[in-house]
């Protein structure tokens, strides 16, 4: 059985616990896939899409807004600030966040805007909307 134990933990709950065939995570140095017998690794994650292939070979996508992943002895621990499947994403809220971030960024010359924070929230919103197929709003 070439399967890995995966545990995904967010501040509000344990989002996922079970066996998987592989997982693809948005690492800071680039997206990478973890398969059976992957070398021990600790990596920080960017905002992006997490792809999980379950034991039956079905692929499922989730949005993740940054975190850390640890792989050791075929056990994966993913600590994510937020982790949502397509159905869990609140599209309206993401759209609002997108517009707010855009507005803030457009005003960056006029007043003091926290650029890093505005950009991060823009990225998070874009990531969520992309996953739900609402890219046309961007």
Partner 1 sequence: MATLRDIKRRIVGVKNTQQITKAMKMVAAARLRKAQENMINARPYSRKISEMLTSLLKVETHFNHPLLEEREVKRIALVVVTSDRGLCGGFNMNAIKTALDLMQDEYLTYLRDGNLDLYCIGKKANDFFKQKEYEIRESHLGVFGSDLNYEFAASFINSVRERFENGEIDKVVIVFNEFRSVVQQTIITKQLLPVLPDKSDTLEEENLNVEYIYEPDKTKIIGTLIPKYLNAQMWHALLESYAAELGARMTAMDMATENAKEMIRSLQLTYNKERQAAITTEILEIVGGANALKEG
Provide the 10 A C-beta neighbour count for residue 3.
14
| Cα–Cα distance list, 97 to 76, 84, 105, 130 (Å) | 31, 16, 12, 14
Question: Given candidates 3, 51, 54, 68, which one binds partner 1 under the rule CB under 8 A?
Answer: 68
Q: Is 33 in the site for partner 1 (CB under 8 A)?
A: no
Residue 123 Cβ vs partner 1, minimum distance, rounded to whole Å: 15
Q: Is 1 in the site for partner 1 (CB under 8 A)?
A: no
Q: Is 75 in the site for partner 1 (CB under 8 A)?
A: no
Q: Is 119 in the site for partner 1 (CB under 8 A)?
A: no
| Cα–Cα distance list, 51 to 48, 73, 79, 113 (Å) | 10, 20, 15, 34
Question: Given candidates 35, 42, 115, 138, which one binds partner 1 under the rule CB under 8 A?
Answer: 42
Question: Given candidates 1, 12, 37, 136, which one binds partner 1 under the rule CB under 8 A?
Answer: 12
| Between 28 and 59, CB nearer to partner 1 | 28
- Rounded to whole angstroms, the Cα distance separating 28 from 43 reads 7
């Amino acid at each position: 059985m070439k399967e890995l134990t995966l545990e995904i933990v967010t501040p509000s709950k344990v989002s996922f616990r079970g066996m998987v065939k592989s997982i693809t995570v948005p690492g800071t140095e680039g997206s990478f896939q973890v398969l059976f017998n992957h070398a021990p690794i600790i990596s920080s994650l960017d905002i992006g899409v997490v792809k999980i292939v379950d034991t039956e070979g079905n692929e499922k996508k989730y949005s993740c807004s940054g975190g850390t992943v640890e792989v050791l002895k075929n056990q994966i621990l993913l600590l994510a600030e937020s982790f949502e499947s397509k159905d869990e994403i609140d599209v309206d809220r993401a759209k609002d966040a997108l517009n707010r971030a855009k507005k803030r960024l457009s005003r960056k010359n006029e007043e003091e805007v926290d650029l890093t924070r505005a950009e991060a929230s823009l990225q998070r919103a874009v990531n969520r909307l992309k996953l739900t197929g609402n890219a046309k709003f961007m």
